[in-house]
Structure 1
Amino acid sequence: LSESEYVSVISSQRLYDIARIMGKDERSSLDRETAMEIARRADARWMLLGSIHQTEPYFSLAGQLIDVSTGDVIASQLIAGEPGDDIFPLIDKLTTEVKNDLTLPSAAMQEQDRMVADVTTHSSTAYRYYIEGIDYFDKFYMDEARACFSKAVEHDSTFAMAYYYLTRVTSGEKADKNLKLASTYMDKVSQKEKFYIRSLQAAKASDYSGAIEHLEQLLKRYPDEKEALFLIANYYYSKRNIEKLAEYLERVIALDPFHKSSYNMLAYAYHFLGKNERSIEMADRYVALAPDEANPYDTRGDLLNRMGRFDEAIESYEKAVEIKPDFSSSRLALIYLNLFRRQYSRAEERVAEYAESGMENAESQANLYLSHIYIFRGETDSALKIIDMELEKNRSGKNYSLLGEGYYTKAMIYDGLGNYDRAIEYIRKAEEAVSSDLPSKSLSYKHAEIVFLARAGKFDEAERFLEDYGSRTEDIPLRVGRYYYCRGVIAFEKGDYKTAISELKQSLEDRKSFSYLTNYLLARSYIKTEQYAEAIDIFEENLNNYDLWRMYYGIQDSKTYYYLGLANEKLGRNEKAVKMYDYFLEIWKDADPGFTELADARQRLKRLKNRS
């Protein structure tokens, strides 16, 4: 019925939302009086009641078409099948009879009525797995959702919407393959679902404006389609338009005050907008709606972490892994929270727990996380040995994601050591690995390659690559921000620090999100131009940010204390400078030799202490 241009069918999800607002939680226990009230609140003109009249020796369906304004039955239907028929053909017959009973324009009778199985699946088993997958997907239990959608396509290899959701729960080549299959069988979905698939096609190509446009077209026909509103909010997040993100999420909640995922994202949105009290309020509502799920506690932990309430954050993350021991994001947060606080032993314990969590590739991933602990200590030789062991293991298994991460981490180590040729070598290997997994991600590490080329003094090559990169930013905030970051690096390496400051500020403005490395180089540029107070503010901002990506910059993070000592010393704040130099030397007491900052910090500390 919803395929007809002349009938607007209120979705079952909208009806369930209204039922929940009325305090009716059970979908299967609505009496006629309650159903009538739901229909009135939904502004429906007609309501169709139905039942399976019999199942043996054949299916028989009974239907009643009711005028919502009066409660009168205006038509009845009784549809009988043949022995051996499944339920789907009977629904097709019922559709035809209902359209005949409605007061529709004559043109409605000329529409092609597609069989319901042709726009879903011919397999009831596949459909059951599909519905289970949706339930897991809504809980953020992506492993379980992926298993259900995979089972669905095992039973029906042409089930387009199962492939659509598989695209959303997989990555790399698998996601590309699933999206291709969803597109191939797109003629087997409803008009509404075609909008979703086309939107996902655009989003996978980083065309977020196009993705939004497809969903806006869907909303013109189905204005109460909250999933479309929610996805538009997600795409505005990808465009770093937080105001629009919050606006669309509030529209979802207006339709469904119980929409867990919207409270999840609104909690982050209000934090990004500087409304921390409102942010925690949304997180608490999310927890209240789903107290037995892991993700609400993970979200609350993230926000408390960002607000500097670390002990509360750890408590929330621990609750998440208590509910679901293989909930990876909370497991990872418990590692980096301890790492950033320089509680190395506790971080190592968390790594060991991660390795034993039962997650896919848990041991390999845990070893890469262990390498970061050594990097933060300045023990780069030990870190490199661990990474090399995992690279060797994952090369044979072609685990491109782990290969890309391992090569990137090696490149960052060599960058921190000043060995830029090796950094270039390994960042190119990282690019090759992620491109093998997902060609659309070929630009993921290109900005890092440009940075290392500039630091190696290969300016012509760096600027040539940067020009190409700039032509491919597609107005995506992250890419535009990285473009100006690269310009800032090139200016810095050429000794033009004022230009570097200008370019790096532009990067932060266009990126519309926090960037540890951009801040780090901006602070160093301020030191070069003797703007020491400004440098201190930015270095301290970095240290107060407990974002995941900070974990990948262990050398820079530790050197920050050296630069804070230097800046404070230049401002005559000798007591503070001593404290920073002392701390830097303490956290790098076992660091590998060769870091010039260690020798300089010792000399400066000795000189300052002698003065006192």
Structure 2
Amino acid sequence: ISKGVGLSDRAAARDAVPITTVTTASMEAYDLFLKGREDFDRYYFDEARQSLEKAALKDPGFALPQYYLARVYASLADATQSKKALEEFKKLSKTSTGKGKDGLYVAAVSAMLDKDTEGYVKGLKDVIRADPRDKRALVDLAWFYKNDKKYSEAIAEFDKAIEIDPDFGYALNLLAYTYAEMGKIDEALKTFERYAAAQPGDANPLDSMGDLYFLTGKFDKARGKYERALAIKPEFPSSWKLAYLYAMEGDYDSALRWADHLITHAQTDGIRAQGHQWKGTYYYIMGRVDEALSELGRAETLARASGNPELADIALRGALWTCYDWGKLELCRMYLERRLAYRKESNQGTPSLNKVYELLYSGLIDVKGGDIAPAKKKLADILALAGGVGEKEQDFNKTAVAHLSREILFAEGAFDEAVRVFKDSPAVQVDLSYYITVQQKNVPFTADFTALALVGKRETDKAIAEYERLVSPDAAVRERALVHPFSRFRLAALYEAKGDLDRAVGQYEGALKVWKNADPGLFEVATARKKLAMLKAKTAKPKGASVDAFYVSPVIVAPNGLLVP
């Protein structure tokens, strides 16, 4: 076991911690707890689960294993067990508060769970006063400061922890992410390298360096780190990131293989559901709509069976948007009804929020079908609900208003105002800690809203420039989004309208390479195939045609909007 983890910490605990100052009467339970916590620090969640479950069995009154089990189960997407462990921790924290600094730590965590941030900070400081060398409390305090954007205070606490244990990988990892968030990339990389040296043979240092390279646009280096992490530990979450890197290059066959790898090595049904959700995302891009819906259906089934209502809801949302983007409006309505029914059944969201969802999605479907009047009525209804929506749901309400507003404005030809509303809405930011943000960046397809408005304004050259950005081979230029074949299809039509047939052919070919096995009957796919055959048959370049000649799809008439959580 590498330096800074493993037997050394546990042996030190046995030698240095009197049994009267911890939260269990069983030293065996405490030793198992420490082993589980060390594996948790390494992001080896299944190993952590095994030790923590044994600790809880050895001493059912021991609170701390339940807290870490709740976190481990959550990381393994096992919502039912996570909830159960958290409830057990809350119960034990009231009846078995424990002694010494561990008892103080239980009190601090309890305050955090009660959303008492002042109590949480005070509790951590109480632990540190009781034991100034408690490196974990120092790191927890540092991470709290980091999340509160108090970077100097965070760095100071991290430094204290690392001074106590220079090879404390958990601290080095989080310190490096803090530097990265501050924009201190060189410091972040040096700290990750120090982390890797402290824990040679572990997967997470490599995965973390992969994240840094991903976020700084060094995608080849990111791929190499993720592959090395998976060679060490095949079940590590690097697989979905590696799949996405291949998808960013347009290699969807490799992306699907790595999604299958995620499913094959998943340790819970919740993780397997995520893998099927990723496959649904890639099939959606590839125009394999039936397969996309099938994969999302599997994700929903697994999520429900494993007690993950939020994950099941995400799968239903993915199916809804898949149908919407590909113009399958009746099927979209069906998935909307299913999603709303499931949200009610699983008690997700308040009735007012779910009503906003119903009005938003059905209004978008109206606009896409060319029926503006009922969409305007639904927008007014959303605005009327604003007063009854809870404080936590106000942002969702505002997002819904902006989304439906801009689609109506676009459909009415108010392109400048529509773009203003679009640009004023918060953009989805990729956060590798939350895989769903990466999917939200791509589904539904909204990136070309501005380009479509420029087409509507007959500013063709500006529209071409925007589409060229969206299909750039440099993923950083695209804000790490996938190149959607819709962009290539629409850019090809613009090139064709200008008489630039060579580049039109190139874009149609690029779209059809991804759509090579697309479902029959999809308008964009059929049109791209027809246009490509026609252009290749031409022997002379014509002057081109009106842009309108190539924009007859309902997808073009009413472009898609941002994903609403």
TM-score clears 0.5: yes
CA distance in 2, matches of 1:443, 1:400: 19
Shift of 1:120: 0.5
Secondary structure of 1:590's counterpart equals coil
Confirm or deny: 8 A CA contact 1:163 1:178 kept in the other structure. Answer: yes
Shift of 1:352: 3.9
Higher RCO (CA 8 Å, separation ≥ 6 residues): 2
The structure with more strand, counted as a fraction of residues: 1
Cα 1:27–1:264 change in 2 (3 A) is closer
Determine if the alignment matches structure 1 residue 289 to structure 2 residue 198.
yes
Q: Name the residue aligned to 1:174.
A: 81
CA distance in 1, matches of 2:514, 2:305: 36
Q: Name the residue aligned to 1:123.
A: 26
Determine if the alignment matches structure 1 residue 611 to structure 2 residue 544.
no
User: 315-324 or 171-180, which moves further after superposition?
Assistant: 171-180
Letter in 2 for 1:158: G
Q: Name the residue aligned to 1:580.
A: 507
CA distance in 1, matches of 2:317, 2:265: 25
Secondary structure of 2:200's counterpart equals coil
CA distance in 1, matches of 2:285, 2:57: 46
Q: Name the residue aligned to 1:341.
A: 249
Confirm or deny: 8 A CA contact 2:203 2:233 kept in the other structure. Answer: yes
| Selected match of 2:43 from 134, 140, 147 | 140
Shift of 1:415: 1.6
Confirm or deny: 8 A CA contact 2:470 2:487 kept in the other structure. Answer: yes
- 1:433-482 deviation line (CA, Å, top 9, x unaligned): 6787785899999987665233123454456457559944549xxx84x5
Confirm or deny: 8 A CA contact 1:198 1:211 kept in the other structure. Answer: no
Confirm or deny: 8 A CA contact 1:183 1:197 kept in the other structure. Answer: no
Shift of 1:139: 0.8
Q: Name the residue aligned to 1:498.
A: 416
Shift of 1:494: 0.7
Shift of 1:568: 6.4
Letter in 2 for 1:597: E
Shift of 1:285: 2.2
| Structure-to-structure mapping, 1:6-45, within 5 angstroms | none
Confirm or deny: 8 A CA contact 1:226 1:255 kept in the other structure. Answer: yes
Cα 1:462–1:398 change in 2 (3 A) is farther
* TM-score, normalised with respect to structure 1: 0.66
Q: Name the residue aligned to 2:425.
A: 507
CA distance in 1, matches of 2:337, 2:182: 37
Secondary structure of 1:140's counterpart equals coil
Letter in 1 for 2:486: K
Determine if the alignment matches structure 1 residue 222 to structure 2 residue 128.
yes
Q: Name the residue aligned to 1:418.
A: 327
Shift of 1:382: 2.6
Determine if the alignment matches structure 1 residue 528 to structure 2 residue 459.
no
Letter in 2 for 1:416: D
Shift of 1:378: 0.5
Q: Name the residue aligned to 1:265.
A: 174
Letter in 2 for 1:186: S
Letter in 1 for 2:35: E
Q: Name the residue aligned to 1:350.
A: 258
CA distance in 2, matches of 1:402, 1:186: 29
Letter in 1 for 2:104: K
Between the two proteins, what is the percent identity of the paired residues? 22
| Structure-to-structure mapping, 1:10-159, within 5 angstroms | 88=19, 91=20, 116=21, 120-159=23-62
CA distance in 2, matches of 1:405, 1:29: 44
Q: Name the residue aligned to 2:560.
A: none
User: 540-549 or 427-436, which moves further after superposition?
Assistant: 540-549
CA distance in 2, matches of 1:134, 1:352: 30
Confirm or deny: 8 A CA contact 1:211 1:235 kept in the other structure. Answer: no
Cα 1:165–1:602 change in 2 (3 A) is same
Where structure 2 has 5 or more consecutive residues not aligned to the other structure, the ranges are 367-374, 432-436, 543-565
CA distance in 2, matches of 1:411, 1:549: 24
Shift of 1:27: 6.3
RMSD, matched Cα: 4.6
| Selected match of 1:192 from 101, 104, 109 | 104
Secondary structure of 1:222's counterpart equals helix
| Selected match of 1:201 from 98, 113, 119 | 113
Secondary structure of 1:456's counterpart equals helix
Confirm or deny: 8 A CA contact 1:368 1:387 kept in the other structure. Answer: yes
| Selected match of 2:161 from 227, 247, 255 | 255
Cα 1:174–1:360 change in 2 (3 A) is closer
Cα 1:432–1:583 change in 2 (3 A) is same
CA distance in 2, matches of 1:302, 1:345: 22
Secondary structure of 1:508's counterpart equals coil
CA distance in 2, matches of 1:431, 1:549: 31
Secondary structure of 1:174's counterpart equals helix
Letter in 1 for 2:524: E
Secondary structure of 2:484's counterpart equals helix
* TM-score, normalised with respect to structure 2: 0.71
CA distance in 1, matches of 2:511, 2:180: 32
CA distance in 2, matches of 1:262, 1:537: 42
Q: Name the residue aligned to 1:306.
A: 215
Confirm or deny: 8 A CA contact 2:64 2:106 kept in the other structure. Answer: no
CA distance in 1, matches of 2:139, 2:392: 23
Shift of 1:294: 0.8
Confirm or deny: 8 A CA contact 1:485 1:504 kept in the other structure. Answer: no
